[in-house]
Amino acid sequence: MNERKTRIDIYVDADACPVKAEVFKVAERHRAHVYVVSNSFIALPRDPGIERVIVAAGPDVADDWIAERAVRGDIVITADVPLAARSVKAGADVIAPNGRAFTPDSIGMALATRNLMDDLRSQGEITKGPKPFGPRDRSAFLSALDLAIVRLKRAGFGMA
């Protein structure tokens, strides 16, 4: 394990993330470091464990920044399936804001479904979007994030 992995880093794909406050709360409890990555200013609490990263505007710039850094022992928070796939491939734990974990076993189907829906929309099909984000999703996310951090700590990550 390299020196950098004496802490758990959490990368938040922040532009449309509805669970930033939850990430901050759980990260503080577990002493994890949070990178909030966006292409515009997002107000954050003053906390040395939370770092704002503003990237240039453009498609996938925030995704690229996260994917270039996320490794085994890190957690990526995103609803973006291609970013999730890149992060899973790098060995990171990946959790969607609704609490769904993207894993090596599930990412292929998630990517295939995303690509199919994208193809249908590009052909003019009307597809329904994701269901509205609700309290159940928030609760599932909190549980999934806490579980991921505990699992990483048991594996020896985040130990100073």
Q: Is the Cα torsion angle 118, 124, 125, 131 positive or negative in sign?
A: positive
* pTM, to two decimals: 0.87
CATH 3.30.70 correct for 7-154:
no
Tens of pLDDT, residues 133-155: 899 999 999 999 999 999 999 99
Token match 């957690």: residue?
75
Token match 């249908």: residue?
120
Tens of pLDDT, residues 5-49: 779 999 999 988 999 999 999 999 999 999 999 999 999 999 999
- Cβ–Cβ < 8 Å for 85, 105: no
Tens of pLDDT, residues 43-88: 999 999 999 999 999 889 999 999 999 999 999 999 999 999 999 9
Domain limits of the chain?
Answer: 7-154
